[in-house]
Copies of this chain bind each other. A is one copy, B any other.
């Protein structure tokens, strides 16, 4: 959790460190996530549509490559929200939160907990790992689904 906020310049610097390049596409995608309302997650498809409505046509290939790259750099969090595809959100410690997911209807509640990040820090440090992100995912059955008689 090195950085809390990326600008085009800091992104550029970090890319150049590894011999990579800052492209307009990467800058635009970073910008989308920076300005996304708290609690919103985007799939690759979501992102593609959102970009389109804002007049940016970035190919799906590039979108997939970019979110994967940014997740591996620690800029984005890759979330598994009980659907059949991944979601991404910006990774900022002061907005750090976790997810409570109903396994039946997939409804997701976000919650904060200060000690989770501490556990992540401690554990990764102990093993010599460089921490990128830690997420607590709770699988449960929501009140509505507990009442329903529908299968599973």
Q: Which of A5-13, A27-35, A36-44, A120-128 is the contact stretch? A: A120-128
A128 to chain B, nearest CB (A): 4
When C-beta atoms are compared, the residue in chain B nearest to A73 turns out to be B152
The reply to whether A103 and B119 form a contact with Cβ atoms under 8 Å apart is no
Separation of A130 and B151 alpha carbons in the complex (Å): 16
The reply to whether B137 and A131 form a contact with Cβ atoms under 8 Å apart is no
Separation of A104 and B72 alpha carbons in the complex (Å): 8
Within 8 A of B (CB), among A124-152: 124, 127-143, 146, 151-152
Of the candidates B71, B113, B134, B143, the one whose C-beta lies within 8 Å of that of A119 is B113
Enumerate chain B residues within 8 angstroms of A135, measured Cβ to Cβ: 136-137, 139
- Copies of this protein chain in the complex: 2
Enumerate chain B residues within 8 angstroms of A136, measured Cβ to Cβ: 116, 119-120, 134-137
Closest 6 CB pairs of A and B: A129-B140, A130-B141, A128-B143, A134-B138, A80-B80, A133-B139
What are 26 A-to-B residue pairs whose CB atoms are below 8 Å?
Answer: A69-B152, A71-B103, A71-B139, A73-B152, A78-B139, A100-B123, A100-B129, A109-B127, A111-B123, A113-B119, A115-B115, A116-B116, A120-B136, A124-B138, A127-B142, A128-B143, A129-B141, A129-B142, A131-B140, A132-B140, A132-B141, A134-B136, A134-B137, A134-B138, A135-B139, A136-B136
A residues with a Cβ closer than 8 A to B are 18, 69, 71-73, 78, 80, 100, 102-104, 109, 111, 113, 115-116, 119-120, 123-124, 127-143, 146, 151-152
